Amino acid sequence: MKRTILTSVFILFGFFTALAFAANQMEAEIGKAAPDFTLPDSNGKSHALSDYKGKVVVLEWLNHGCPFVKKHYGSGNMQALQKAYAEKGVIWFSVISSAPGKQGYCTPEQANEITKDKNAAPSAVLLDPEGSVGKLYGAKTTPHMFIISKEGALVYNGGIDDIRSTDVEDVAKAKNYVRIALDELLAGKEVTEKTSQPYGCSVKYKD
Amino acid sequence: MNKNVSLYSIVGLILWLNGTFSPRNRTENFLQMPVQAQLISETKSIKPGTKFCVAVRLVMDEGWHTYWKNPGDSGLPTSIEWTLPEGFIADDIQWPFPQLFETSDIIGFGYESEVCLLTDIEAPSGLKTGSVVRLSASVEWLACREECVPGRSELTIELPVKERSPEPDARWAGYFASTRKNLPAVSSQWEISAALKRNKISIQVLPTGIFDRKMTDIVFFPEQERLVEYSEPQTIQKIDDGYSIEIQRSNAAAKIPSRLKGVLYTPQGWDTSAELRALLVDVSLDNNL
């Protein structure tokens, strides 16, 4: 009897460990497979991350009401990165995880309008009003940048650059981590700085 | 013809008014000021060759907060850039312990309502008595409620240089006194140690003597970024006469530092008079991996 209890305890323990392990596997971790997701874009087209195996993918968390985002769009920094790396075959997704009623939330039409207005050039603007993909990746700020390698591994998680401010003038002086990581990846090298402190406004998830 | 001219001038006037009073200009310049900043001095004068204390006082509208030196998952620490006469040296900001703000698992460390950021400044010994000294601070902050608004203020005060010991300025004495009560401090009554255990950082805080008050609420505010997960609950356990606090390491952990820095806060107080609410933590971080 005692033995049976002990055995079931062990089985249960094993089960929970396996569960915890599975949960851990699903989270975004540097060097591991980037968690797959499917989201609609602002034109109603559905994108799965797994559709882009063989391409470098950038995820940029976006809220156009946030002063840190305004810094990088007002200076043209973000658009320039989007355009430069689109030419090199990089897929760039701007992800909006703001919940309805919160700052930065966009209907598909509003997302298209503001993308045009800012002269932005992402491959697509993905809409995540439930915040599930934001939470899956642990996106904390706008902007918060993630880079996924051609092999589908998460290779960068952090800020866009190393000067944490809302000041447009800092853009030119800053070390742009995303540009450096993308150049390294495209040259077939390992990304040297894989994480940095993301800075910005908090992502306006649903309550 | 005449009619046309007046039509043009009306159109011109409308365009001009539009440019001058466009809502964009208005909001940027006047409406969005949820924080008022002020530069105050503890004393009414400066004595050559001595230190004196000044403070940047930020008063926030209801619901708004500004940030601590580690702002947490988002935000930006307040910064002060001093422009001082030759020979004056300003120390770092003395940050009061912060409070924690949480929205959908995103954690911020900062201040609401109001905060005084104290700074000691040393006056050079060769300073001429009878002169007046002008101190300028360029202060930048990020204020957040649901949304965030950056703010900036150029603040100046002038203080006379006098030979006699400076008199406190009664207008601000209360602010300086209450702020100092909130500054983290080292206590000889407690011994702190920290160790890295697998994916957790464990802090032990043990009384050096007899301390029989039971703490129910202890929070560690990490000064270093990307070391621990701010949104994970901290586990507090009673051990021997003291406490252990375990905190989940950050997923995006940077290199493991050799020291752990931060603030251990309890509303119940670490001293017998219950006045010291924040212990300064700056201890070696043992690696038990």
Instruction: Assess contact for A177 and A199: CB atoms under 8 A.
Output: no
Q: B46 has which bridge partners?
A: B161
Cβ-based contacts of B73 with chain A (< 8 Å): 140-141, 202
Chain segment A127-143, per-residue pLDDT in tens: 999 999 999 999 999 99
Q: Count how many pairs of residues, chain A against chain B, have C-beta atoms within 8 Å.
A: 65
| Run of H or E including B101 | strand B99-103
Q: B204 has which bridge partners?
A: B193, B244
Give the separation between CA B145 and CA B130, rounded to whole angstroms.
Answer: 46
Chain segment A26-78, per-residue pLDDT in tens: 568 899 999 999 999 999 999 999 999 999 999 999 999 999 999 999 999 99
For Cα atoms A191, A193, A196, give the angle at the middle one, nearest 5 degrees.
Answer: 135
Please indicate if any CB of chain B lies within 8 Å of the CB of A21: no
Cβ-based contacts of A65 with chain B (< 8 Å): 147
pLDDT, residue B89, reads 98
Burial class (CB in 10 A: 0-12, 13-18, 19+), B232: middle
pLDDT, residue B253, reads 66
A28-202 under CATH 3.40.30.10, yes or no: yes
3-state SS, one letter per residue, for chain A: CHHHHHHHHHHHHHHHHHHHHHHHHHCCCCCCECCCCEEEECCCCEEEHHHHCCCCEEEEECCCCCHHHHHHHHCCHHHHHHHHHHCCCCEEEEEECCCCCCCCCCCHHHHHHHHHHCCCCCCEEEECCCCHHHHHHCCCEECCEEEECCCCEEEEEECCECCCCCCCCHHHHCCEHHHHHHHHHHCCCCCCCCECCCCEEECCCCC
Closest Cβ opposite residue B106 in set A28, A65, A202: A202
Positions of chain B with pLDDT under 50: 1-5, 7-30
Answer whether B104 sits within 8 Å of A30, measured CB to CB: no
pLDDT, residue B289, reads 61
What are the residues whose beta carbons fall under 8 Å from the beta carbon of B177, sequence distance 6 or more? none
Answer whether B147 sits within 8 Å of A138, measured CB to CB: no
Answer whether B150 sits within 8 Å of A166, measured CB to CB: yes
Q: Nearest CA of chain B to the CA of A195: how many Å?
A: 6
Residue B60 corresponds to which tokens in the numbers above? Answer: 């926030």
Please indicate if any CB of chain A lies within 8 Å of the CB of B252: yes
Answer whether B105 sits within 8 Å of A141, measured CB to CB: no
Average pLDDT of chain B to the nearest whole number? 89
